[in-house]
Amino acid sequence: MSESVLNVNNLEVNIKSSKGTFPVLENISFNINKGEIVGLVGESGCGKSMTSLAIMGLLPNQAKWTKGEITLSSKQLQSLSPEEMRKLRGNQLAMIFQDPMTSLNPVLTIGYQLIESIKLHLQYPKAKAKTYAIDLLTKVGLSRADKLIYQYPHELSGGMRQRVMIAMALVCNPTLLIADEPTTALDVTIQAQIIDLLKELNKKEGTSILFISHDLGLVHDLCDKVFVMYAGEIVEQATVQELFDNPQHPYTKGLIQSLPLPEKKKERLYSIPGTVPGIHDRGQNCRFSSRCPHVTEHCTTHHPSQIQISKTHVVHCFLSEKGGTTSG
Amino acid sequence: MAFLLRRCFTFFVTILIVMIMTFLVFRIIPGDPALTILGMDAEPEQIAALEKELGTDRPLYEQFLDWAGGVFTGNLGESLRFSQPVSELVIDRIPVTLSLAIMSIVITMFLAIPIGIYSAKKQGSWVDTALSITTQIGMAIPSFWLGIILMLIFGLTFKWFSPTGYVPWSENPSEALNSLFLPSLAIAIPQIAVVVRYLRTTMIEQLQLDYVRTAKSKGLKEKSILYIHVLKNALIPVITIFGMIFADVLAGSLVIEQVFALPGFGRLLISSISYRDLPLIQGMVVIIAFIVLLMNFIIDILYRWLDPRIELK
């Protein structure tokens, strides 16, 4: 067995609104091993970003971690003080974000933003920090790095900025890199380059990556394991192979069906009817029941429990329980 | 370079407009210098003779060109009341007024920036609410009244600062500082209130932005996030209001000088107006306009330095 880098167990996060307190994340449990790339997929509003912010210890003020444990290479995150948590960020735990256009500070140079991290976490003197910054920028595939450190974010393209973000995340060789839709705001060719860069990092440095995306195609190319989230819960988890060969949950099937593929060119692209229920309308039923094509009476009154399909494949759906009904 | 040239051109045009306006205003409002000097009972011949001597009998454009030509070659003319060159009279008083203005700006910056940041950080708390009420009051109080109250409390009751009078910097710097502190504070308080409110709003706006989340995810300390990352962005809109504040501060010092009996620009200007000492008034207004414009020029450059997205061309 390979060693676990991140273990989330039974995580629950509540959010306070004017109408009361509601759970945004419930029963979130998953594990990421060393050197694994794990995908977290789902539509907007499923709680993907909330999960990553909970791991980073950066939940917004209205949100509160109420239950469960998060373990990062044998460190219990819930027992750390805010100061200890801060020291962990940018060190063992790093994150890159969706929109590289706005994720960098517009009035500070690339060099400043990179070097401040190096000085903070590694206590390098100025000259050494600068050399290291140039090395990092070169490592993420940016040329003329010695000039680049004096430039401002607006002078760089989106792809270059995302590379800078990755370089910043790599300062301390993190054990876990969380990538929150890192390619959504980029055009397709640049997207492929960034994905290749992440793959290369994973291979060379053994960095585990939690890849958050709504794009199953990208997840298929990049990840080893996938967690499918729906309305604040994980509804299915499997290896990439299992998930695409034998999807169990109707939601996963819907997501796979709505992928635009060349052989489906003539057909009308499938879309799952309806939208994710808001946090106020989540009751004791299967949360997908309002949109599920195979919904039964039972689904609208009971919450499905976990069903083991194989050693690595788990689903939360009544249909899989009965067996047979889900094939096809 | 194009920016600097354009900026210099507007600088020159603005000065020219200020000159035309001050020149005309004192010709339009009632009150004739010759009449003021000689009194109401003067003979018409005497008045005519004095007007000829002062040059006020000549056509307006001729008088203006004469004066403007002098200004641009560094000659501001001679005061009617003191029969002394305007530049000499002004040079004695510039240090007092300019010291007041600069000290007020420094006090404003040193107090308003930390308070504004603190208020934004504590957004929604009772401290924030208390600060918001205080700044509202601060903006509403006129500085001359504040000056009187400060003088009463710290000058006369506690005797921490000298209540009135002025000691030149060249004589005793610490005494000079002491005599200027209360009036500077009186001018600064309403400005602090304005800057605190403005900075608080821009800081709160900036704190919502993505780059702050990035900074947090890098594990930066709250202090460096607030004072470096967010402040540098938040200062860009705030710096533009510093130009207006400087003009306000200069106007405020003209008034406050009366309260604290400081021998600055304000007292000379006000007495010159009632005396219709036209060359002196005009000279002083041009100098004040020049200082304000120069300050705005510096702020424009500072603005470009703070925001690299605007290129200094």
Look at A161 and A258; give whichever has higher pLDDT.
A161
Interface residue B210 vs chain A (CB under 8 A): yes
Average pLDDT over residues A109-130: 95
Q: What is the pLDDT of residues A65-83, one digit of tens each?
A: 999 999 998 889 989 999 9
Interface probe for B, chosen from A77, A81, A105, A117 (most Cβ of B below 10 Å), is A105
A210 SS3 class:
strand
ipTM score for this prediction? 0.88
Distance from CA of B92 to the nearest CA of A (A): 43
- Phi and psi torsions of B242, nearest 5°: -65, -30
Interface probe for A, chosen from B217, B225, B235 (most Cβ of A below 10 Å), is B217
Amino acid at A302: H
Question: B131 near B139, Cβ under 8 Å?
Answer: no
Q: What is the pTM assigned to this prediction?
A: 0.83
Between helices B265-275 and B278-306, what is the axis angle to 10°?
140
What Å distances lie between residue A119 and A116, B94, B219, CA to CA?
Answer: 5, 47, 12
A188 membership: H or E segment, kind and range: helix A188-205
Q: Nearest by CB to B309, which of A58, A116, A154?
A: A154
Average pLDDT over residues A249-261: 87
The arrangement of strands across the sheet holding A93-96 comes to A93-96, A176-180, A208-213, A37-41, A225-230, A233-239, A314-315, A307-308
What Å distances lie between residue B74 and B66, B139, B283, B289, CA to CA?
Answer: 13, 39, 11, 15
Which 154-173 residues of chain A touch chain B by CB within 8 A?
154, 165, 168
CA A54: distance to chain centroid?
A: 11
CA B216: distance to chain centroid?
A: 40
pLDDT band at A163 (very low <50, low <70, confident <90, very high): very high
- Taking an 8 Å cut-off on Cβ atoms, the answer to whether B213 and A94 are in contact is no
Question: A175 near A208, Cβ under 8 Å?
Answer: yes
Whole-angstrom distance, CA of residue B209 vs CA of residue B185: 35
- Taking an 8 Å cut-off on Cβ atoms, the answer to whether B218 and A120 are in contact is yes
Domains of chain B: 1-87 (no CATH), 89-306 (1.10.3720.10)
- pLDDT tens-place values along chain B, 313 residues long: 777 888 889 989 999 999 999 888 888 877 777 777 787 788 888 888 888 877 778 888 888 888 888 888 888 888 888 888 998 888 888 888 889 999 999 999 999 999 999 999 999 899 999 999 999 999 999 888 999 999 999 988 888 888 778 888 888 888 888 889 999 999 999 999 999 999 999 999 999 999 999 999 999 999 999 999 999 999 988 888 888 888 888 888 888 988 888 888 888 888 888 888 888 998 999 999 998 999 888 888 888 888 888 765 4
Question: A139 near A132, Cβ under 8 Å?
Answer: no
Q: What are the boundaries of each domain within chain A?
A: 4-92+172-322, 103-171
Distance from CA of A307 to the nearest CA of B (A): 36
CB atoms within 10 A of CB A232: 26
Interface residue A71 vs chain B (CB under 8 A): no
Q: Note the residue count of chain A.
A: 328
Question: B115 near B131, Cβ under 8 Å?
Answer: yes
Look at B35 and A231; give whichever has higher pLDDT.
A231
- Taking an 8 Å cut-off on Cβ atoms, the answer to whether B218 and A90 are in contact is yes
Confidence (pLDDT) at A89:
94
CB atoms within 10 A of CB B298: 13
CB atoms within 10 A of CB A262: 5
Q: What is the pLDDT of residues A191-227, one digit of tens each?
A: 899 999 999 999 999 999 999 998 888 999 999 999 9
Interface probe for B, chosen from A103, A120, A136 (most Cβ of B below 10 Å), is A103
- Hey, what are A52's tokens? 């990553």
The arrangement of strands across the sheet holding A4-17 comes to A20-33, A4-17, A63-72, A75-76
- Hey, what are A298's tokens? 């039972």
Question: A251 near A228, Cβ under 8 Å?
Answer: yes
- Hey, what are B17's tokens? 């407009």
- Hey, what are A244's tokens? 């695409």
Confidence (pLDDT) at B95:
87
Interface residue B211 vs chain A (CB under 8 A): yes
Interface residue B218 vs chain A (CB under 8 A): yes
Confidence (pLDDT) at B6:
87
Q: Classify domain A4-92+172-322 by CATH architecture.
A: 3-Layer(aba) Sandwich (3.40)
- Phi and psi torsions of A11, nearest 5°: -70, 135
Nearest residue in B to A151, CA atom: B308
Which 46-85 residues of chain B touch chain A by CB within 8 A?
none
- Taking an 8 Å cut-off on Cβ atoms, the answer to whether B215 and A58 are in contact is no
Confidence (pLDDT) at A165:
95
pLDDT band at A18 (very low <50, low <70, confident <90, very high): confident
Give the helix ranges, DSSP H, for chain B. Answer: 2-28, 33-38, 44-54, 60-72, 86-121, 126-140, 143-150, 173-207, 210-217, 222-224, 231-259, 265-275, 278-306
Whole-angstrom distance, CA of residue A114 vs CA of residue A119: 9
Terminal Cα distance for chain A, rounded: 34
- Taking an 8 Å cut-off on Cβ atoms, the answer to whether A103 and B213 are in contact is yes
pLDDT band at A326 (very low <50, low <70, confident <90, very high): very low
Residues B228, B231, B236, CA angle at the centre, nearest 5°? 125
pLDDT band at A1 (very low <50, low <70, confident <90, very high): low
Amino acid at A44: S
Q: Nearest by CB to A58, which of B217, B307, B309?
A: B217
Residues B270, B272, B277, CA angle at the centre, nearest 5°? 155
Which 229-248 residues of chain B touch chain A by CB within 8 A?
229, 232-233, 236
Nearest residue in B to A98, CA atom: B210
Distance from CA of A198 to the nearest CA of B (A): 18
Interface residue A318 vs chain B (CB under 8 A): no
Report, in angstroms and rounded to the nearest whole number, the Rg of chain B calculated over CA atoms. Answer: 24
